[in-house]
């Protein structure tokens, strides 16, 4: 199986031993504590689950700047984005060297992790601006990722963490939320050697389904891991539980038995386009995938990124040898009226736009809200039925 990044074994930050975890939880209740942001909580969950391995905790400013500017930390290791614990005030913790981090996303704000504090630093406006520009390629506060990153505060608390739980993800998405460790174990149990991963924050329509089949066939893969984001999204995106139901129905009906796993991970979407695509590849290698599908405008939002920037960044900016995972570069896929099947648009040079079945997101949402299923060339009827139920409940 493909090795994790930077190590022969995953280094998850979750405290797996029950007695050790109970003792840590008891200690945590007596420690000074700080309520962290949703973004920081998602980062802690990703470290706990092994996706960010071998990262041991939140970055100091020097490492965060290195990640932003050249995807390289002070010790020379690779990481594609800053992973920071930013707060507005440290009054509650003072100069304590061991603190509890409280979860903003669970009622009562229970302790999520314990940190050994190495540094408390103030991030300058210039440093925030540089990180924002390098990661998001824009300083527009209307960009959901830019807004979230810049609204956390400018005091960075850094140091290694020990994580006590997986926030709300394990309970709310039982059976879907999986750690990188669990996915690796499942891949090994299935006997899969070549595995392609597919990222989604949306339900999968026919074009997405067929793209996965194309990748599996062309790469001669043993298995597919559909890996959906379960954390916070922007307004208007379909909730994870609805998306989960729709995807599971599609896999049940249209994929051979034991060929695809439906899983999810606990993280808030950054909408950082190319840089987030690299992060996605990073934790897909850690979960055991040998290949990763990146299509048109991967992890993008609005018109902030070029259609294929999320593919070219792997050739132009990612340090050589940083990752072993291979990228399956895909174009937009759609139903061809000429060929009566889903194709990649670049592989149909004799087609005009009107030769494809293309529907805007707005049009699809309007149809579903009216109880009308999109054409079968766009969406499986069983998937559409689930989505109609959601939109008509709004």
Residues classed as catalytic: 201-202
Q: Which helix (H) or strand (E) holds 121?
A: strand 119-122
The distance in angstroms from the start CA to the end CA of the chain is: 44
Distances (CA, A) of 152 to 43, 209, 300, 304: 14, 37, 22, 22
57 sits in which H/E element: strand 57-58
Alpha-carbon gap, residue 194 to 221, rounded angstroms = 5
Q: How far apart are CA 180 and CA 266, in angstroms?
A: 11
**For residues 119 and 137, is the Cβ–Cβ distance under 8 A?**
no
DSSP state of 78: B
> Which secondary structure element, helix H or strand E, spans residue 361, and what is its range?
helix 361-369
* Alpha helix segments (H runs only) across 306-352: 309-316
Contact (Cβ atoms closer than 8 angstroms) between residue 204 and residue 226: yes
Q: 350 is written with which tokens?
A: 């004799």
Helix (H) or strand (E) holding 336: strand 333-336
Cβ count near 190 (within 10 Å): 14
Residues forming a β-bridge with 193: none
CA distance 393 to 31: 44
> Angle of helix 125-136 relative to helix 273-286, nearest 10 degrees?
80
């Amino acid at each position: 199986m493909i090795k994790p990044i930077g190590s022969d074994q995953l280094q998850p930050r979750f405290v797996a031993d029950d007695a050790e975890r109970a003792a840590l939880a008891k200690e945590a209740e007596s420690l000074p504590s700080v309520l962290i942001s949703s973004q920081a909580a998602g980062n802690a969950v990703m470290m706990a689950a092994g996706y960010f391995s071998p990262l041991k905790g939140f970055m100091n400013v020097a490492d965060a700047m290195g990640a932003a500017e050249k995807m390289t930390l002070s010790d020379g290791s690779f990481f594609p984005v800053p992973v920071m614990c930013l707060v507005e005030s440290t009054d509650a913790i003072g100069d304590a060297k061991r603190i509890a981090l409280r979860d903003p996303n669970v009622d009562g704000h229970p302790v999520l992790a314990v940190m050994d504090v190495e540094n408390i630093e103030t991030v300058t406006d210039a440093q925030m601006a540089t990180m924002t520009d390098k990661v998001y390629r824009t300083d527009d506060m209307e960009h959901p990722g830019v807004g979230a990153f810049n609204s956390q505060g400018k005091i960075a608390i850094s140091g290694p963490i020990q994580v006590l739980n997986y926030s709300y993800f394990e309970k709310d998405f039982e059976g879907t939320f999986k750690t990188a460790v669990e996915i690796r174990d499942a891949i090994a149990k299935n006997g899969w050697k070549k595995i392609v991963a597919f990222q989604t924050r949306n339900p999968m329509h026919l074009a997405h389904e067929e793209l996965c089949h194309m990748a599996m066939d062309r790469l001669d893969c043993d298995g597919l891991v559909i890996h959906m984001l379960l954390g916070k999204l922007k307004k208007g995106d379909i909730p994870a539980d609805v998306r989960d139901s729709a995807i599971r129905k599609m896999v049940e009906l249209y994929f051979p038995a034991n060929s695809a796993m439906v899983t999810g991970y606990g993280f808030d979407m950054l909408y950082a386009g190319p840089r987030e695509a690299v992060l996605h590849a990073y934790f897909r290698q850690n979960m055991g995938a040998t290949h990763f599908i990146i299509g048109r405008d991967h992890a993008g939002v609005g018109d902030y990124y070029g259609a294929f920037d999320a593919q070219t960044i792997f050739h132009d900016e990612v340090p050589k040898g940083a990752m072993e995972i291979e990228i399956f570069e895909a174009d937009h896929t759609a139903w061809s009226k000429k060929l009566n099947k889903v194709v990649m648009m670049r592989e149909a040079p004799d087609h005009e736009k009107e030769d494809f079945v293309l529907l805007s997101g707005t049009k699809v949402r309007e149809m579903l809200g009216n109880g009308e299923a999109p054409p079968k060339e766009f969406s499986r009827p069983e998937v559409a039925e689930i989505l109609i139920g959601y939109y008509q409940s709004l």
